[in-house]
Structure 1
Amino acid sequence: MNVRASSALSRFTVIDLTRARAGPTCARQLADWGADVIRVEAPPSAGEPADFASRHDPDFQNLHRNKRSLTLDLKAPDGVAVLRRLACKADVLIENYRPDVKRRLGIDYETLKADNPHLVYVSISGFGQDGPYADRPGLDQIAQGMGGMMSITGEAGRGPMRAGIAVSDMASGLLAANGTLTALLEREVSGEGQWVTTSLLESQIFMLDFQAARWLIRGEVPGQAGNDHPTAVPMGCFRTADGHVNMAPMPGAWAKFCKALGIGHLAAHPDFATMANRRANRALVNSTIEAVTVTRDSAYWIDIMNAAGIPCGPIYAIDQTFADPQVAHLGIAQAVASPALGEIRLVGQPVHLSRTDSRIAAAAPECGEHTDEILAWLEYSAADIAALRGANIV
């Protein structure tokens, strides 16, 4: 039974040919809003390398919930024939093969477009579909380095530092999903599909946002600022009597911030009075603030600052994050029953729709769990399916 996560995208069928993280993230985004996402996997007999995470690991379960699984050997012509029949009935195909591989397999955009002009074909790569690096293998950390992320992350003088999450993978997956939905909306006007492309490198550069704009517009090369905001002072992490808090007074709230700290007399001090002064004296500003914050515990400062309208919050380990009452109220950790693992909790969607909200309707499928029902939907007979299984095509 094909239970959908939402009715919002339930009219769309999506083929997920991806591996690793960026592509599955894109497909998951569509699955979580109700698209019928069919994950195509190699049969165990095909001997292809496994995905990064084993099937019952948390990572795999989080990436592949709300999908169905079809096994298919795309190295065999009969396997490609099945895929092409599936692509004729699909709205979207997502892939992250190297450009030469998909052409060699005969599942590139131009080939499948000839079969189904309405198909939205989505490609996620490391560096783009053409250009000098098109055939290089791409991974998140490589993109973080080339895309400038590691040069602005961490403390000055400590060397490059990767982010604690797969920023370029996640960004490219989410941006590809955005591009997919844009192409589907445009198809309602033109009646035609199109090729949607993005890369880890482009997505990582896009995520630089204002840091990239500083270079492009002013010629400034941003550096590492640790826990401090790159341009606003003060804004960052400060020690307290029992740990640390983040404090983020907005640029116009300096005087109000000083009053809440109990150092209102310093608001007009010539070293601190303007943002330019504070940038020039960042170390002195921070040490002056921290001399006060260490005298009381984190909970005290969180209450005082928020009451004064100054953004301030705790710095949690992940277990503390999910124990926070606001996080619990938001319900972003959602339970789902897994036949293999029992009841598990996964991270749900952070966006909500009032009528057609998303949910985690099904745990990640077992390998090939839905092969027979998908082939039957493609109008393969029982004898056809048995023949495909006998030839190890599925």
Structure 2
Amino acid sequence: MTARFARTGSLAALLLIAAAIQATPAAAARTVGAYTSTARAAAADRHSVVTWGASADRMGDAAPDRSYRLIVRTSVAGDDLRIRLSNAFGDRPLTFDSVYAGIRQQGAAVVRGTNRRLTFEGARSVTVPAGATVYSDPLPGRLPAATDLAVSLHTSEAGGPATGHSMAMQTSYAAAGDHTGEEDAAAWTDPIGSWFYLDAISVRTSAATGAVVALGDSITDGWQSTSDLNRRWPDYLARRLRATTGPVKGVANEGISGNKVLADGAGQSALNRLDRDVLSLPGVRTVFLFEGVNDIKAHSGVTAQGMITGYREIIARAHAAGKCVVGATVAPFKGWYEWDTAAESVRQDINQFIRDSGEFDAVTDFDRLLRSPYDRERILPVFDGGDHLHPNDKGMQAMADAVDLKNLDCSSRATNTEPASPTG
């Protein structure tokens, strides 16, 4: 339906120009000029904004002649959907010979009539060099916010390391052979808990609309939240943003379970993946940095000063790219098997820097929100997912509710800085 309306609009525009040409030359020039000026003004008032994202990581060996139907949830509405395919961790070129996108109905089934082929510079297939990413051509039509989108892709001769996101907290589907164009679920008999090759989706929307990127570890990735219900704290944040009239609507979740600020391991470090996973995404206004607990766990040897140096580098690089940075304090984790007093001391020093240094554009105090009033080194039991480190669904929602939405609209650092939170 949307595509038909788009074609109708284009036809109307062509008829307008044809009518003008049949009139006097002067009238024709005025009419064509007015149409062109209007089109240019409309184009200038729109830009691309990320509506979904997931950090890329190495996934093990790629499987040939394999299809993936990847289920994701959009955040901001817009037109002209584009997806980004990643071969960031591949050691050889990777060809995608069939890629589709449609609205998920239930399970692996796609709403009839919505599954449409994506192209790449007009071609049905695309080869992505090792270490690279590629965007599809725009897919005409409107994509609503909070849509369950099914992106289906096929690789016939994949080999070497695959690229993807391991802990999706969302069921997707795989199948042998190419079933990307099929709307029913019959062939998609292999449920999977990871996303393969897809790392970002963007739409075109008002130039006043922007996005926030959550850069973090397993808490941001959603561990201990309920799978398939979009209850990660960035999901709850996206719901809040949809309910407001503010300009920030897009949310990209760039968390990786086990990730660190300073060192590679569970994914590349925040420092090493900042450009690809955050700064390269379109329409981003603000980086929300909530990471550090994996660096400071027992016997890591990481000091508060080393962490502060890492935070400062992220702030500087984000500022240089024209983004603001909201810093979140490191949450309590006493009771987790790697906790000890030395790690706790480093956490307290880091949190003091985040709260009081003034180097972040704003601060969200997750530590103060989540900690128990009876033992400030522990997470409050009602928010504890069970392992004393990861919040449950209630904790995830409370985290999103604690974010001051005004601080995500960072048009200038000078006017969007939040006073440091008290430590009491």
In terms of fraction of residues, the more helix-rich structure is 1
Decide which structure has the larger Cα Rg and report it.
1
> TM-score, normalised to structure 1's length?
0.21
> TM-score, normalised to structure 2's length?
0.20
Larger RCO (alpha carbons 8 Å, 6+ apart): 1
